[in-house]
Amino acid sequence: MCDLVQNLTSVIQSKTLAYLKALSRHNNRDWFEAHKAQYLEAKTDFENFISQVIVQLSKAEPRYKGLEAKKCIFRIYRDVRFSKDKSPYKTHLAAYFHTGTKQNEGAGFYIHIKPGNSFIGGGRYVPDAASLRKIRQEIDYNTEEFKKIISNKNFKKQFSELQNIKLKTAPRDYPKDHPDIELLKYTSFIVSKPMTDATVTGKQLMKEVTASFSTMKPLLDFLNRATD
């Protein structure tokens, strides 16, 4: 795999975090419109950073070369139709990198920037039923390979383990006494690691991002192979 860890200086500006903090205190349309210039500045800052992330990730995953930052970044506007919380805006900035389609995004890499709660993540969150069957089948057929990925020393050091999003009982296609039933109970296959505000605005941010992606890539490749 291409070594992505380099002495890069790409960061998120501290004023972007300051804007997000202020937005969390004044999450209403009037304040947002009155501070639209600051929002656009924060948006541009994040978009520029994500563009540089794509350049670096593409060195390990050539399929990422065709990605556009704007298409990776989530909108700041919340969908409040079915939510009790009617706050109109998200108080974080986030981007998801994948090479799938709208119908099947596949496993990807995720960056979440929020003051006091930033993190790097990735994997496959709540795949559709057909994709989930394929992933379980891949795990069943290549169990030792999957175990080797998630038990890798560096993987465990950075991400600990897959997030505990799984069924309480065995999926109907597998017997309860299957030797690896706990792996087959998963309904999502995601990992994450937190970042401090100092990391987000520090000179080592891009190094942290690219090192995390390099460690996560075997998991993403395994999951995508199952559904490609």
Sheet order of strands, 108-113 included: 93-97, 108-113, 118-124, 189-195
Torsion, Cα 126 131 136 140, to 10 degrees, reads: -160
Contacts of 94 (CB under 8 A, 6+ apart): 73, 74, 110, 111, 112, 113
> What's the sign of the alpha-carbon dihedral 63, 134, 131, 148?
negative
Question: Quick one: which of 114, 78, 112, 77 has its CA closest to 209?
Answer: 112
Q: Which range has the worst mean pLDDT, 105-109, 154-158, 214-218?
A: 105-109
Residue 5 clears pLDDT 70, i.e. is over it: no
Tell me the pLDDT band of 117, cut-offs 50, 70 and 90: very high
Per DSSP, what are the bridge partners of residue 122? 109, 191
- The Cα 225–Cα 48 span in angstroms is 30
Task: Give the model's pLDDT for residue 80.
Answer: 84
Task: Give the model's pLDDT for residue 105.
Answer: 76
Task: Give the model's pLDDT for residue 2.
Answer: 44
Residue 99 clears pLDDT 80, i.e. is over it: no
Mean pLDDT (the chain) is 92
